[in-house]
A and B are shown apart, each in its own frame.
Chain A
Amino acid sequence: MAGVNKEKRPEGRTKQFKKVNDNKNKVVVDENSAIIKIFRGFQGELDAKHDKHERLVKISRDVTIDSKRTIFLLHRHRDGSDREGNDEILNDAKDKIKEIQNIRFLAMAEELEGEDPYQFMRAISPGMQEYIEAISFYYYLKHGQLISLNEIQKDLVFSKTGEDEQNKILTLNVPPIEYLLGLADLTGELMRLTINSVGAGNLETPYKICEFLQIVYDAFNSYGNTLKDLNRKMGTLRQSLRKVENACYTLHVRGSEIPKHMFADVFMTSGDDKYAEDVE
């Protein structure tokens, strides 16, 4: 501590006086002062908290990156068609998701052990939402259904062997709010899936997704203003839904007129702008 040395200056002024005059130029730390003693304690506590926060932000960012990659991978999947490689893509995605769980989220759960999970929510929430988006997208492609919160939660319970050889259970809590916000992002992916599957000549998926999105949209609407973050995402959700509905409409009305290989062009154009904004 630089201030400690300065303490031993020759001038023998009284303690009180020194404080008043020195503050403007340099910090002279009087280690005997009761106030300084109190603050020394806070120093470590505050640093520890900030460091933990930073570490969590980092993990969360890694989760986001990995999840985004998984989503890109999944978009190579062509739903409903017997295209070769579909199973492989799903398996790859599953491996990636497992990796996120076992490396990233385990680290996160270890950081959060014994903490109030909500204290660091702001740090981990972006990654968690992206992950929920990825895993629910995977689940939808695999099972054609919405993944439940319970299922997501199940994957984030880790058992760890502690120093005392005892198995400890670490749970990374997924708040329902994060689940909902992740699902709101999922709808954007489903919109893209719709356009892609039309391009691949699959004419059933759009109707399925359309119905799916309508239910999600209705549900989110009924939650009303209870969720601030959700309100922001509602606009995007609405747009996605409109695009899918329009795609279904076009299919329905003009489906027999457009040659199959042209579908992709017809719908891609309507999806482009959304694509750009969603990538970042």
Chain B
Amino acid sequence: MDVSDTLTATFTELQGYLQAEQQLREDIRFAVRDIEQTTREIQKVLQAIHQPQGLTKIALVCENSRKLFKDVQDQIKILSDKIPANQYYKYHDHWKFAIQRLAFLAALVIFLETEQLIDRQTAADIIGVKVSKEDGFHVDLDDYLMGLLQLASELSRLAVNAVIAGDYARPLQISSFLGELESGFRLLNLKNDALRKRFDALKYDVKKVEEVVYDLSIRGLKPSTET
């Protein structure tokens, strides 16, 4: 019967398609796993800043993590070569968390080096991706912003640890940075999505740093240049 023959043929064809896609997803998972591994290593290197002597070794820490970012760039290349044109968002879920984390780590490095907010171009360059989707494998704006919000949490922790290490100037610097960052985020009309939820946590990070600054100022520990 010809109806059932065409049916079967149709479904066989679709099955081939599904299998190919399944295989590609498998490959992507492998590539992302490598990236995540390096990401963890970078994170480990950067954790040093929280240790008592950490803040004196910032230059070295940043240099070491930048070396590891070179590996990430190669691994991103491997991943991006696998993605067919115009299908970035089809598989986006596989790597978005990795990219967010990388954006965060890159932002942390830049903050430690320059005390500036990383812009999207710099973040993209460090990670080894493009800025706009027209150019290929890029960092999604949401992912980059997620990375910045993770940076805020990390810096609020750093503010505490800096005090422990006797560095009383850094919390002030972090506080003003987070304040500006928060104003920045307030300019955005966020939808009720993951980014919005993560942004809602930003105020706790800001609050924490403000408390640190308050503790320092009532005890007269604030560096005098500010007043």
Contacts and interface: CB of A to CB of B under 8 A. Distances in A.
Interface string A190-220: 0000000000000000001001100110010
A253 interface: no
Nearest to A50: B191
Nearest to A23: B179
Contacts of B18: 176, 223, 226-227
Nearest to A14: B226
Given A38-B117, A180-B14, A28 B187 contact: no
B119 A30 contact: no
Given A35-B181, A226-B18, A16 B189 contact: no
Given A35-B180, A50-B191, A223-B15, A42 B145 contact: yes
A29 B189 contact: no
A95 to B, nearest CB: 26
Contacts of B145: 42
Contact of B7 (A14, A119, A215): A215
Interface residues of B, number: 50
A212 B7 contact: yes
Contact of A118 (B22, B87, B117): B87
Given A20-B175, A176-B18, A223-B18, A39 B184 contact: yes
Contact of A216 (B7, B17, B182, B190): B7
A43 B14 contact: no
Interface stretch (A71-79, A126-134, A143-151): A143-151
Contacts of B206: 23
Contact of A47 (B182, B186, B189): B189
B172 interface: yes
Interface string A42-66: 1101110110000000000000000
Contacts, number: 129
B145 to A, nearest CB: 7
A114 B132 CA distance: 12
A212 B3 contact: yes
A84 interface: no
Interface string B171-198: 0100111011111111111110000000
A226 B226 CA distance: 60
B176 A116 contact: no
B189 A33 contact: no
B183 A42 contact: no
A154 interface: no
A222 B15 contact: yes
Contacts of B224: none
Contact of B6 (A17, A27, A146, A219): A146
Given A42-B145, A222-B15, A118 B180 contact: no
Contact of A35 (B7, B10, B15, B184): B184
A222 B13 CA distance: 13
Given A20-B213, A46-B141, A27 B183 contact: yes
A35 B22 contact: no
B176 A219 contact: no
Contacts of A276: none
Nearest to A3: B183
Contact of B188 (A46, A223, A227): A46
Given A116-B87, A145-B6, A215-B11, A50 B189 contact: yes
A264 interface: no
A22 B8 CA distance: 68
Contacts of A223: 14-15, 18
Contact of B176 (A19, A29, A216, A222): A19
B179 A118 contact: no
B17 A176 contact: yes
Identify the interface centre among B89, B92, B133, B206: most chain A CB within 10 Å of its CB.
B89
Contacts of A216: 7, 11
B82 to A, nearest CB: 15
Contacts of A16: 172, 176, 226
A34 B122 CA distance: 14
16 contacts: A16-B172, A19-B179, A20-B213, A23-B183, A35-B117, A36-B180, A38-B184, A39-B183, A42-B141, A46-B141, A116-B87, A121-B90, A144-B3, A211-B1, A219-B11, A226-B19
Minimum-distance CB pairs A-B, first 8: A19-B179, A39-B184, A219-B11, A118-B90, A118-B89, A119-B89, A16-B176, A35-B180
Given A117-B86, A212-B7, 19 more contacts: A19-B175, A20-B179, A20-B213, A23-B206, A35-B177, A36-B187, A38-B120, A39-B188, A40-B187, A42-B187, A43-B187, A119-B133, A121-B89, A176-B18, A180-B14, A216-B11, A219-B8, A223-B15, A226-B18
